[in-house]
Amino acid sequence: MHFRWLSTRLPQSSERRVTVLTGPRQVGKTTLAKRTYPDVRYVNLDAPEDRAQLRAVRTAAWARTIGAAVLDEAQKEPSLFEKVKYAYDAGELDFTVLLGSSRLLVLDRVRETLAGRAFVFEMMPLMFSELIADEGTTPPLPLLDRLLTSSGPVGRVLDREPQVLLGEEAARLAQALEYLTRHGGMPELLALTETDRRTWLHSYARTYVERDVMDLSRLADLEPFRLLQRLAMLRSAQLLSFAELSRDAGIGASTARRYLDYLDLTYQTVRLAPFHRNLTSAAVKTPKLYWGDVGILREGTGQWDAPVQGAMAGALFETLIVTEAHKWIATMQRDTRLSFYRTRAGLEVDLMLETPTGVIGVEVKNRSTVRGSDARALTAVALALGTEWRGGIVVTRGESIEPLDETLDLWAVPAERLLS
């Protein structure tokens, strides 16, 4: 199994803790839990007979019968939440791990039953820095994290970075970025052939619907949902319009909104909120929609064989950068708010990273060279934010970290350097 950053944050089984580990299906939650807690009982509630046995355990007998355990697919047996709460509050049970792939079913029950007791962790598909990590070692924190957690201008961090990487190191990072852009971060794909990867992703999109969505709502007909799912993929990196989606899917606006909520709750999509202030002129207040994994996105939209560079792939590249930032912040629980800024006149900054010490603006350009116009929106936002501005980054497919404007602290940074 690849190194996972979440392994550095999970509690030890000797601690008094109820731990909730959630995230999309097939990202490695079970593998991580078994590797982290090899001496703790594992129970998979996917099996109906196991659910029946746990249901039969009396609340007062939970601690001595089940004890410390990893309970997988916990949302499938609601009664166990109350039983864990009872045993934990009575001081009879010190450690439990609850795994689940549905944010709504797991976290709602945690809030209702285990509020103030449970520590929640979200596991995402493989991130770039995990993909390139050497087996058995903890890699250094990526440049993105050093930018988020530092104070002052971003140039203080970027100025200490090598301008370019050479030889095997550069080739390794470029190869990893190519892989992530083509296949996404689902761990199962690493051991498969190219043909089998596509088949796996195709199957994932359908079986996910049959399992997670049916857990949320017993839909009589899955086809309208599948159509909206594909339409949402085609709109990755675009403003979210419920009216447009409902019209194209042939369903009501309220149904489209509910289906999109299902995609959010099962970690398939990411909604990016607009920046909360008008800075230069009237700002758009509509969120942007991103698909959570680029591999699933490419397969689901028929772009599997499309080139990863060029105008067609601009939305894919933006999706990759935004979701990598989202995955990192969610995994490590960094104190950073993600948003974007766009005015009705068309001025747009793809990503606003709101940190405790100021704002970092990010523009994503799917090419190797940077033009002067690429930093126009960053310049306008920098001037409007004044002392709140920490700097701006134009993420590229280039090879060199370059200053673009030292006064406003604007830089060009290759994608693989930002993420590693």
Q: Are 292 and 125 in contact (CB under 8 A)?
A: yes
Among 8-12, 77-81, 215-219, 246-250, name the one with the lowest average pLDDT: 215-219
Let me know if residue 164 belongs to a domain: yes
Asked whether residue 70 is domain-assigned, the answer is: yes
Q: 202 and 336, same structural domain?
A: yes
Q: Does some domain include residue 65?
A: yes
CATH of the domain at 17: 3.40.50.300
- Structurally, the chain folds into a number of domains equal to 2
Task: Give tens-digit pLDDT for 392-403.
Answer: 999 999 999 999
pLDDT at 109: 67
Task: Flag whether pLDDT at 218 surpasses 80.
Answer: no
Could you tell me how many helices (H) and strands (E) the chain has, helices first? 18, 14
Query: Which of 63, 88, 122 is at the close of a domain?
Result: 122
Strands (E), 318-409: 337-342, 348-355, 358-364, 389-396, 402-405
Conformational region of residue 346, where left means phi above 0, alpha means psi within -120 to 50, and beta covers everything else: left
105 and 172 both lie in a single domain: no
Do 215 and 355 fall within a single domain? yes
Confidence of residue 311 (pLDDT cuts 50, 70, 90): very low
Q: pLDDT at position 142, please?
A: 97
Query: Which structural domain, as residue segments, surrounds residue 16?
Result: 5-122
Q: Are 182 and 97 in the same domain?
A: no
Least reliable range by pLDDT among 253-267, 354-368, 375-389: 253-267
Per-residue pLDDT band for 110 (boundaries 50, 70, 90) equals low
Alpha-carbon distance of 80 to 62, in angstroms, equals 9
Asked if the structure places residue 279 within a domain, the reply is yes
Let me know if residue 36 belongs to a domain: yes
Tell me: the pLDDT tens digits for 37-65? 999 999 999 888 889 999 999 999 999 99
364 and 298 in a common domain = yes
Q: Are residue 190 and residue 117 in the same domain, yes or no?
A: no
CA geometry: angle 401, 402, 405, nearest 5 deg: 140
Given this model, what pLDDT does residue 206 score?
A: 78
Range with the poorest average pLDDT among 73-87, 103-117, 216-230, 384-398: 103-117
For residues 212 and 114, membership in a common domain is answered with: no
Count the alpha carbons within 13 Å of 361 in the hemisphere toward its beta carbon: 30
- Helices 314-332 and 167-183 pack at an angle, to 10 degrees, of 100
Across the range 238-263, mean pLDDT stands at: 92
Whether residues 158 and 284 fall in one domain: yes
- Which tens digit of pLDDT belongs to each residue from 66-97? 999 999 988 888 888 899 999 999 999 999 99
Looking at the fold, whether 114 and 239 belong to one and the same domain comes out as: no
Whether residue 134 is contained in a domain is answered as no
Position 308 confidence tier, pLDDT thresholds 50, 70, 90: low
The domain boundary, picked from 122, 152, 179, lies at 122
The average confidence (pLDDT) of the chain is: 91
Domain boundary, last residue among 122, 152, 176: 122
DSSP string, 237-272: TEE--HHHHHHHHTS-HHHHHHHHHHHHHTTSEEEE
The answer to whether residue 336 scores a pLDDT higher than 70 is yes
User: What's the pTM?
Assistant: 0.94
Indicate the pLDDT class of residue 305, thresholds 50, 70 and 90: confident
pLDDT classification of 156: cutoffs 50, 70, 90 = very high
User: Within this chain, do residues 147 and 39 fall inside the same structural domain, yes or no?
Assistant: no
Q: In angstroms, rounded to a whole number, what is the distance separating the alpha carbons of residues 363 and 377?
A: 8
226 shares its domain with 369: yes
Tokens of 313: 């792939």
